[in-house]
Structure 1
Amino acid sequence: MTAARLVVWRHGRTPWNVENRFQGQADIGLDDVGRGQAARAAVALAALEPAVLWSSDLSRARDTAGELADLTGLPVTTDRRLREIHVGSWEGLLGSDVERVDPEASARLRAGEDVRRSATGESPREVGVRVAAALRELAEAAPDGSTVVAASHGLAGRAGVAELVGLPPEHWRLLGGLTNCAWVSVDRHRSGRYWRIEQYNVTAPDPTDPLEERADFATKATAG
């Protein structure tokens, strides 16, 4: 068995996202805006008729997935491998704090290097391998030709998808960051031998914001 499409969905906004804090695997919940984002995105994703719904076990991703579960009746199954990058001692710090406590790592991070987030954290490459392995297993366990939705996190989602489709790590940053509650649609080539990005950084329209534009891989690949 194998799925035909994987949808990797970033969670809605949290208070730490607003403050631009290193969130990592801290279990920070959604704020009111994030809950609204999740509800709107769930309507759009329900139209894809997913057969299976997975999530990181962190509450911000699990509660985001719960909005889709309410619409589809699907259970939310969690997998720790879908968690965000582990940032170790950087957890809860602002970018300016990291510049102060670890200026060398901060400079390398800004330069786009594959930097481990603190001495006890992970690197993006490690996260990509972890998440991609989970995505492959979830897809292979799903019904033939089905759509699988996996609620995850910003860096984890981007790195996992990039690793899954075989992008070299030095090119991962070219995809840009995932917006809160945006998703990536990845489809399996008809040969079954590889995955490819169909859409990137797609968001559900916000009816309260007439200026909001939907972004996809073809038109706004570096959005985020």
Structure 2
Amino acid sequence: MLLYIIRHGETQWNVEGKLQGQSDTQLNENGIRLAKVTAEGMKEIPFDLGITSPLSRAKRTAQIVLGDRKVPLYEDARIQELSFGSWEGLGCRKENYQIPSEHFDDFYHDPLHFQPAEDGETIQQLCERTREFYMELIHKEEYQDKTILIASHGCATRALLRNVYEDTSDFWHGSVPLNCAVNVVEVRDGKSRLLEEDKVYYGKEDCVNFYTADR
């Protein structure tokens, strides 16, 4: 089994530094362009199926990457983004900070102890649902010889990859993955191996990290 785990393309809330979570934002024009460039770079990959978060920005990214391939695309809510609850839509960068908490930086610097909004979701809860998805997926007999596109989100992707990383002490592995960054995972006999990490198919001029653990 080969898994290509992609983060969605750019959205306007990415540009504006707003928390998206499970708000159903759309790709902006640049996000569509980056997804198309990524699709061109992945055009020779023989995908058998795709699985996407039900949120539009991930689903549209998956549709663009799969292109004209006649393969099924399934939705799974377990790989949608972390819910920030009532904090969604609020600015989270220094220049536009609106979150009613003095400890939001824990999300980047100490995520496993991050305290969300009362109606939000913890990193542990995200890890539990993404792990359930991942373990179910890699043990499906009918998928053992398949090449699968998985379209998800920045935080959810890192949670998924905790099932692959040898060192799970650094949740972010340096930073939030870039828009349309791809992680390639090989699964054999239930064991996972990371083949490529955070690969982007576009040029350095487009590498903008809107949310970073180094901010």
Instruction: Give the TM-score category using the shorter length.
Output: 0.7 to 0.9
Residue identity over aligned pairs, in percent, reads 26
In structure 1, the residue matched to 2:133 is 134
Name the SS for the 1:7 alignment partner: strand
Q: How does 1:136-151 map to 2 (within 5 A)?
A: 136-141=135-140, 142-151=142-151
Structure 2 unaligned segments of length 5 or more: list them: 208-212
Q: Which AA in structure 1 matches 2:70?
A: G
- Which whole-Å deviations, capped at 9, do the CAs of 1:167-188 have from their partners, x for residues lacking one? 5653222342110011111112
Per the alignment, residue 181 of structure 1 pairs with 180
1:97 is aligned to: 98
Question: Within 5 A, what are the aligned runs for 1:19-30?
Answer: 19-30=16-27
Report the CA distance shift for 1:144/1:113 in structure 2 as closer, same or farther (over 3 A). Answer: closer
**1:6·1:139 contact (CA, 8 Å) conserved in 2?**
no
The answer (yes or no) to whether the contact 2:138–2:144 under 8 Å persists in 1 is no
The count of residues paired between Structure 1 and Structure 2 equals: 203
Quote the Cα distance in structure 2 between the aligned partners of 1:54 and 1:152.
9
Report the counterpart of residue 60 of structure 1 in structure 2: 57
Structure 1 length as normaliser, TM-score?
0.81
Counterpart-to-counterpart distance in 2, 1:76 and 1:187: 20
Shift of 1:117: 2.4
Deviates more, 1:164-173 or 1:65-74: 164-173
RMSD, matched Cα:
2.3
TM superposition shift of 1:63: 0.6
The answer (yes or no) to whether the contact 1:130–1:160 under 8 Å persists in 2 is no
Q: TM-score, normalised by structure 2?
A: 0.85
Q: Cα deviations across residues 183-204 of structure 1 (Å, max 9, x unaligned)?
A: 1111124xx2421211111111
Give the Cα separation in 1 of the matches to 2:11 and 2:106: 26
Residues 120, 202 of structure 1: CA spacing in aligned structure 2 closer, same or farther, 3 A cutoff?
Answer: same
Structure in which a larger fraction of residues adopt helix: 1
CA deviations 1:129-173 (Å, max 9, x no partner) are: 2123213323333433221111000110111111x1255653222
